[in-house]
Amino acid sequence: MSKKEIVYLLSDSVGETAEFVVKAVATQFIRREFEIRQNSYVDKVSDIEDVIVEAKQTNSIIAYTLVIDFLKDYLNRRANEEKILAVDLLHPLMDAFITKFNREPIREPGLMRKLDEHYFQKVEAVEFAVKYDDARDIEGILKADIVLIGVSRTSKTPLSMYLAYKGYKVANIPLVPEVPAPHELFNVPRNRCVGLVITPDKLNAIRKERLKTLGLKPEASYARFERILEELDYAEKVMKQVGCPVINVSNKAIEETANYIIESLNMERSF
CATH number at residue 234: 3.40.50
Do 97 and 192 lie in one domain? The reply is: no
DSSP element (H, E) containing 196? strand 193-197
| Whether residue 157 sits in one domain with residue 82 | no
The torsion region of residue 194 among left (phi > 0), alpha (psi -120 to 50) and beta comes to beta
Per-residue CA distances from 165 to 70, 123, 161, 249 (Å): 38, 8, 6, 20
Same domain, 49 and 182: no
Q: What are phi and psi of 66, to 5 degrees?
A: -100, 125
| Other beta carbons less than 10 A from residue 194's beta carbon | 27
CATH number at residue 98: 3.40.50.2300
Last residue of a domain, which of 109, 140, 156?
A: 109
What's the longest Cα–Cα distance across the chain? 91
- 130 and 85, same structural domain? no
Instruction: In whole angstroms, give the CA distance from residue 65 to residue 159.
Output: 41
Per-residue pLDDT of the chain (271 residues; tens, 9 = 90+): 446 789 999 998 878 888 888 888 888 887 777 899 999 889 899 999 999 999 998 989 999 999 888 999 999 999 999 999 999 998 888 888 888 888 777 667 666 666 556 777 888 899 999 999 999 899 999 999 999 999 999 999 999 999 998 999 999 999 999 999 999 999 999 889 999 999 999 999 999 999 988 888 888 899 999 999 999 999 999 999 999 999 999 999 999 999 999 988 776 654 4
Candidates 184, 207, 203, 195; CA nearest to 237 is 195
Would you list which residues are annotated within the binding site?
150-157
Q: How many domains does the chain have?
A: 2
The answer on 262 and 136 residing in a single domain is yes
- The pTM of the full predicted model, rounded to 2 decimals, is 0.61
Instruction: Extract the annotated binding site for ADP.
Output: 150-157
